[in-house]
Each structure stands twice: as C-alpha cells, then as structure tokens.
Amino acid sequence: MKQFFISIIFLIIGMCLYLLRDISTYFPPTFFSNFILYNLSDGLWTSSGILILSSIWKNKKEQLPYGILFLIISLLFEFLQKYQLVIGYFDIIDIITILIFGLITIIINLKYSYKKVTADLAGHTLI
C-alpha cells in the first residue's frame, strides 16, 4: 500500500513539472533547470509505474520481471521517438534518467521485499 501512495506522489510531481514547462521562461536555462523541467518527469513516471506494479504483485519473484518489462517499455518509447515512430523528442538525458530511476526503484523494491519477507518469517511485520 505504501508503494502505491509513493507512486501517486511521483505521478503528481511529474504532472506539476509538465505544468512548469509553460512558465519555463522564468527560469534561467541551465543544465539543472532543464533537467528538472524536461527530464525528471520521465524518471518519476518510470519509478511510479514500477511501484504500482510492485504494489499489485507482492512476491519478489513476480515483481522483478514486471519491473524490468516496464523499464524496457519506457526505454523503448524513448528510442521510438528518435525514429519518429512515437510523438516526442528523443533525448539521451531521458534515457539515462529513465535507466537510473528505474534501476534504483527495482533495487529498492527487491531489498524492501526481502526485508519484508524475512520479517514476516520471523513473526514481525514491517509497515
């Protein structure tokens, strides 16, 4: 349940970043401001999708393939933009952001799932 709420927060932040693009003329064009306005939302949405899938499948063995599949699909959409098969602008920073956020989310999920399973086996529950 906690994963679901975190994923919703990531989605809301990602939507807010899209709204900030309209007022981006007020921000000086630096790498950091451009990253926040144009790339961070891709990473947040990737993490959100993986977290939503993780909240559906509680078993670590079931989470991993779906998390990896979601990450691959996210990357695929970005590469399809390069060949104009999907609407959007290809950006290597998007690829890096999606990879970093996706892999960190998968790793944290695996560690969290492992701790939860071992705590449940010991008669304790986390959360």
Q: Which helix (H) or strand (E) holds 126?
A: none
With 0.75 as the threshold, say if the pTM is over it.
yes
Q: Please give the Cα distance from 60 to 17 (Å, whole number).
A: 31
Locate 32 and state its tokens: 């950091």
Locate 15 and state its tokens: 């939507």
The angle at the Cα of 27, spanning 74 to 86, to the nearest 5 degrees, equals 25
Q: What is the pLDDT along the chain (127 residues), one digit of tens a residue?
A: 788 899 999 999 999 988 877 776 777 788 888 898 889 999 999 999 999 998 887 777 778 899 999 999 999 999 999 999 999 999 999 999 999 999 999 999 888 765 655 555 556 555 5
Task: List phi, psi (to 5°) of 42.
Answer: -65, -40
Residue 122 DSSP class: T
